[in-house]
């Protein structure tokens, strides 16, 4: 509610007019007129000396609430397995366990002086398992068994899952040996046993949870831990009859993961593009670039000779031109329209990606990143579910293997990035209030409020104190607060409300949700990173109806009733995801621009992990 000043009375207006019209020299005469001449001016000498003016306080820098940070990725150092604990552990009194005549406890002596580096949890699991299970898993008789051979084949195929086979490499004892060198053979076998278990556990953990801890990449990444019972894995492997099936079942078991694996295999077998256009190309009419002739050649290959005769003729005329002449603008616009982009004639990364594709190496990298990122998620993504893919600027409602509803979305701008996490939808708000986040209050509103404290009152915002009592914005000394403002600010439902007519909540610490917006024109853009972090929907009524399991007409009727909320009674996971390679329902993989430059940070984390795992030279 806006507050209005009380109008002045006619007499007060007359006095005010007279005072404003008077010149400074006639101020004493005006006082005589107003007060009957009863006031006499004192001479300056009659006043006591004026007190010194208080010093002005130094201007305080405007406070800011910082956005989440990207981190220097930290890899846990490898640790040496404490085999001494295993060797010195008391032997079971009941039975001497052997495998084909080889005594496990006798072979343990071969671990003396053996340095095996492993992740700390894996190192602990090895000692814990073999302390209680004093027998071989991977050795029978005097050599590796069929269980080991099967596991080795799975480890060697790690590359087909986007993993690095070198992370799981193992030196296998040679088949031939001399019985005269039995102590050395036992030493080889027990060291192979421990190394094999360590690398299989690494593979299982990587397949199930990923090589990378996403939460160490940035404050935007937010994933719950996926603990693995490592000693339980070894127990299973010691008894299973199908090692291959068990190990492969540790990977995500969803169609998207399988489609990405198929794409990776196809890419590995394919040839590199004969023409590769710089994916970062930015070109406007009148500018020049050596990449332009390449792009024109690729566009020309896709054109129909009859339907696109004019564009083909224009390309032929300017096929070697590095200058983006006016005649070529229509060619680019037509090509953009053909792939569903806004035909603005400006060549940018999305235009290049759609018209020219990307290099084989770039596509392989994006698929590898997508496989890794899927391991951070549940194996079963759930049905129904909502899937938001930020680089694609889309939001979808999915049931089973069908995209029931897909729409354009607006995500956070690079300075206000949308986080990467998953949650569960809980509620739909009709004609919502917008509770202004503290970051916007401090970073964007507070600088203005310091000089214009009544601004929020006039703009239709409500201000509440710590007890929830509504107060006037003008009554607050906003200059007294820094990055912690003890007041709530919200915008009432209206056509101008930043959330539009609907918001769909899945409460999370990032204060991110899906909502409508009055800024409909932004959905016409190809690149749609404009919000403060929340996800704006092109068809919010459709999404609300989908998650509520009702109709758009029902949602429309609820909107007519004013502000209200409705709980979502089904379990519907929502994935606020970030994949620059992602398959559609048919399995066809599309590639997207890395709008937040997160792929390079994931690659850096992978590189550091590989370096930490590499054996010391």
What does each C-alpha distance from 112 to 81, 85, 132, 390, 578 come to in angstroms?
12, 11, 19, 53, 48
**One domain for residues 15 and 98:** no
H or E stretch covering 470: strand 470-471
In a domain, 98, yes or no: yes
Distance CA 471, CA 199 (A): 63
- Same domain membership, residue 226 and residue 145: yes
Do 426 and 518 fall into the same domain? yes
d(CA 260, CA 257) in angstroms, rounded, equals: 5
Based on the fold, state whether residues 423 and 502 are members of the same structural domain.
yes
Q: Is residue 195 part of a domain?
A: yes
Residue pLDDT, tens place only, 151-187: 999 999 999 999 999 999 999 998 877 666 678 889 9
> Which residue, chain included where needed, has tokens 């509770």?
435
Domain boundary among 211, 234, 266: 266
Map residue 195 onto helix, strand or coil.
helix
Clarify whether residues 413 and 518 are in a common domain.
yes
Distance in angstroms (rounded) separating the CA atoms of residues 417 and 45: 66
In this structure, are residues 387 and 575 in contact, taking their beta carbons and an 8 Å threshold? yes
Is 403 part of a structural domain of the chain? yes
pLDDT score for 508: 95
Residues 148 and 222 in one domain: yes
- Which among 376, 396, 342, 389 has a CA at the least distance from the CA of 581? 389
Report the CATH number that the domain containing residue 544 is assigned in CATH: 2.40.440.10
- What the block records as the tokens of 88 is 């010195």
Looking at the structure, tell me whether residues 553 and 512 fall in a common domain: yes
Residue ranges, the chain, pLDDT below 70: 1-62, 92-101, 178-181, 616-617
Domain count, the chain: 3
Distance CA 181, CA 204 (A): 35
pLDDT at site 499: 94
Question: Are the C-beta atoms of residues 428 and 556 closer than 8 Å to each other?
Answer: no
The pLDDT of residue 52 is 54
Same domain (yes/no): 24, 122:
no
Tell whether 201 is covered by a domain: yes
Q: Examine the fold and report which residue of 266, 296, 317 is the final residue of a domain before the chain moves on.
A: 266
Chain mean position to CA 179: 58
Instruction: Point out the domain boundary residue: 266, 291, 316.
Output: 266
In a domain, 361, yes or no: no
Looking at the fold, whether 258 and 388 belong to one and the same domain comes out as no
Residue 300, domain member (yes or no): no
**Do residues 34 and 147 share a domain?**
no
In a domain, 587, yes or no: no
Residues 39 and 85 in one domain: no
**Domain with 257 in it:** 79-266
Q: Is residue 427 part of a domain?
A: yes
Q: Are residues 108 and 240 in the same domain?
A: yes
pTM, two decimals, is 0.83
Given a contact cutoff of 8 angstroms between Cβ atoms, the answer to whether 215 and 603 are in contact is: no
pLDDT tens-digit readout, 10-67:
333 333 333 333 344 333 333 333 334 443 444 433 334 544 544 544 445 667 888 8
């Amino acid at each position: 509610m806006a507050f209005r000043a009380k109008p002045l009375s006619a007499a007060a207006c007359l006095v005010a007019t007279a005072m404003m019209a008077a010149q400074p020299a006639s101020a004493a005469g005006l006082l005589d007129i107003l007060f009957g001449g009863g006031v006499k001016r004192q001479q300056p000498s009659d006043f006591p000396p004026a007190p010194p003016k208080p010093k002005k306080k130094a201007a305080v820098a405007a406070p800011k609430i910082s956005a989440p940070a990207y981190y220097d990725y930290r890899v846990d150092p490898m640790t040496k397995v404490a085999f001494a604990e295993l060797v010195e552990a008391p032997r079971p009194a009941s039975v001497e366990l052997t495998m084909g005549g080889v005594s496990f406890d006798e072979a343990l002596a071969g671990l003396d002086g053996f340095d095996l580096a492993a992740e700390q949890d894996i190192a602990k699991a090895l000692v814990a398992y073999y302390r209680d299970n004093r027998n071989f898993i991977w050795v029978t008789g005097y050599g590796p068994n069929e269980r080991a051979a099967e596991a080795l084949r799975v480890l060697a195929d790690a590359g087909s899952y986007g993993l690095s086979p070198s992370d799981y490499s193992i030196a296998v004892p040679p088949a031939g040996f001399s019985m005269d060198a039995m102590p050395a053979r036992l030493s080889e076998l027990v060291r192979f046993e421990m190394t094999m278990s360590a690398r299989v556990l690494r593979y299982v953990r990587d397949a199930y949870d990923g090589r990378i801890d996403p939460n160490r990449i940035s404050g935007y990444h937010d994933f719950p831990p996926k603990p693995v019972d490592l000693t339980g894995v070894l127990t299973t492997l010691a008894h299973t009859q199908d090692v291959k099936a068990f190990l492969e079942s540790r990977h995500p078991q969803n169609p998207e993961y399988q489609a990405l694996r198929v794409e990776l295999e196809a890419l590995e077998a394919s040839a590199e593009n004969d023409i590769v256009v710089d994916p970062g190309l930015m070109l406007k009419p009148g500018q020049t670039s050596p990449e332009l002739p390449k792009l024109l050649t690729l566009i020309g290959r896709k054109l129909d000779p009859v339907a696109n005769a004019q564009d083909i003729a224009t390309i032929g005329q300017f096929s070697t031109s590095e200058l983006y002449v006016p005649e070529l603008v229509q060619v680019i616009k037509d090509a953009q329209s053909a792939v569903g982009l806004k035909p603005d004639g400006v060549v940018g990364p999305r235009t290049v990606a759609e018209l020219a594709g990307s290099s084989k190496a770039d596509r392989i990298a994006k698929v590898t990143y997508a496989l890794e990122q899927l391991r951070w998620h549940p194996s079963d993504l759930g049905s129904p579910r909502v899937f938001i893919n930020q680089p694609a600027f889309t939001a979808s409602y999915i049931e089973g293997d069908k995209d029931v509803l897909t729409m354009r979305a607006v995500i956070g701008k690079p300075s206000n990035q949308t986080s990467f996490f998953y949650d569960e939808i809980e509620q739909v708000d009709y004609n919502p209030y917008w509770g202004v986040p503290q970051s916007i209050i401090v970073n964007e509103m507070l600088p203005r409020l310091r000089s214009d404290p009544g601004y929020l009152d006039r703009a239709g915002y409500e201000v509440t104190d710590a007890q929830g009592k509504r107060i006037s914005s003008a009554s607050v000394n906003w200059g007294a607060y820094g990055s912690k403002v003890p007041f709530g600010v919200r915008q009432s439902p209206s056509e101008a409300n930043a959330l539009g007519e609907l918001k769909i909540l899945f409460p999370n610490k990032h204060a991110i949700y899906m909502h409508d917006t009055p800024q409909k024109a932004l959905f016409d853009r190809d690149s749609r990173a404009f919000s403060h972090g929340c996800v704006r929907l092109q068809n919010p009524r459709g999404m609300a109806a989908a998650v509520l399991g009702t109709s758009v007409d029902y949602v429309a009727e609820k909107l007519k009733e004013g502000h209200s909320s409705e709980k979502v009674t089904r379990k519907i996971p929502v994935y606020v995801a970030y994949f620059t390679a992602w398959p559609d329902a048919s399995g066809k993989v599309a590639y997207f621009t890395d709008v937040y430059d997160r792929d390079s940070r994931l690659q850096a984390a992978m590189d550091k992990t590989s370096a930490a795992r590499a054996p010391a030279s």
